[in-house]
Amino acid sequence: MPFEISLARFVEDLAKINARQAVSAVADILIVAYVIYKILVIIRGTRAVSLLKGIAILFVATMLSNLLGLSTVYWLLQKTITMLFVALPIVFMPEMRRALEQIGRGSLFAGPFGFLGKEDAAKLISDVARAAAMMAREKVGALIVIERETGVADLMETGTKIDAVVSSELLVNIFTPNTPLHDGAAIIKGNRIVAAGCYLPLTENPAVSKRLGTRHRAALGLTEQSDAAVVVVSEETGVISLAFNGKLTRYLDEGALRDKLEDLLEPGRARQAIPSWLRGRAT
């Protein structure tokens, strides 16, 4: 009888251990799958994709040379792969920096955008969308940066400080041709235009279309390094675009731009995914 009780308890404990191990295994697989997915999302559209394909081909060639008994080729490929592992951190430096910046901008570390109340955010969005539409009709080029959690104070220093309340009229006036500040970016922090005529970093992504001009490349460059939203109006075509997270959505009208800015800037919605990206044509 005591033996039967001990055996039953042993089986019960074993079942608990197996269940615990199964849960751990599932969690382990899900975490690894999510990490791989995020890495693929980060490197998508960058030169890292081509490099990874090359590395995969090298691994396949190494295994084949070993199976076929090509000892010299196998030795050379092994040494090449060893050197590649040393060189990878240098080769992938831009992608690694981008990944770390995205982790730093994640919800674990970043606070909400809600330093603006709902009414102030709505007014800001309306003014920016209206100004973009007005300039698009006249084919006036514009580059409007809206700061979110990641500060862009260093970029403000490259332009002229303004510190004025945002209005569509002021934005149009800033970008009117032949005015002193029309050729750079205007930076908005909260509900104020803090600087204009600012220089932005250009994108390092070689996959960006050659048809895009300097304004669009600057918008993509900044959004690759920060979580800012950047509105672009093309001087040549009058097309309105919105850059965010290193991606550019083009051919927006005033209403579509307002919807996308609401997704990004309104309190309570800033940390959500951006389903409205699917409503535009991304480049």
For residue 40, CA distances in Å to 26, 34, 46, 52, 278 come to 21, 10, 10, 10, 19
The whole-number pLDDT of residue 169 equals: 96
Question: For the residues of 31-81, what is the DSSP string, one character each?
Answer: HHHHHHHHHHHHHTTSHHHHHHHHHHHHHHHHHHHHHTT-HHHHHHHHHHH
| In 165-253, alpha helices (H) | 168-174, 214-225
Alpha carbons 117 and 115: distance in angstroms, whole number: 7
Which pLDDT tens digit goes with each residue over 61-92?
889 988 888 889 889 988 888 888 787 777 66
Torsion of CA 144, 149, 150, 152, to 10 degrees: 40
Among 113-117, 185-189, 229-233, name the one with the lowest average pLDDT: 113-117
The whole-number pLDDT of residue 89 equals: 77
Average pLDDT, the chain: 81
Alpha carbons 245 and 228: distance in angstroms, whole number: 8
| Beta bridge mates, 8 | none
Reported in sequence order, the residue ranges of 79-206 that DSSP labels E, i.e. its strands, are 142-146, 160-165, 185-189, 192-198
Query: Is residue 11 classed exposed, middle or buried when 0-12, 13-18 and 19+ CB atoms within 10 A define those classes?
Result: exposed
The whole-number pLDDT of residue 105 equals: 55
Q: 3-class SS at 264?
A: helix
pLDDT band at 4 (very low <50, low <70, confident <90, very high): low
pLDDT band at 281 (very low <50, low <70, confident <90, very high): very low
Residue 110 above 50 pLDDT?
no
Own/partner pairs, 241-245, CB within 8 angstroms, 24+ separation: 241/216, 242/280, 243/216, 243/219, 244/274
Q: Does the CA dihedral 183-188-189-192 come out positive or negative?
A: positive
Structure-token pair, residue 276: 């409205």
The whole-number pLDDT of residue 77 equals: 87
The whole-number pLDDT of residue 117 equals: 79
Q: Which element (helix H / strand E) includes 282?
A: strand 281-282
Which domains are delineated in the chain? 2-104 (no CATH), 118-282 (3.40.1700.10)
> For a pLDDT cut of 90, what percent of the chain falls above it?
40
The whole-number pLDDT of residue 85 equals: 79
The whole-number pLDDT of residue 277 equals: 39
Residue 221 above 90 pLDDT?
yes
The whole-number pLDDT of residue 273 equals: 39
The whole-number pLDDT of residue 275 equals: 40
- Amino acid type, 274: I
For the chain, the residue count is 283
Asked if residue 231 lies in contact with residue 257, where contact means CB atoms within 8 angstroms, the answer is yes
Which pLDDT tens digit goes with each residue over 111-131?
444 457 788 899 999 999 999
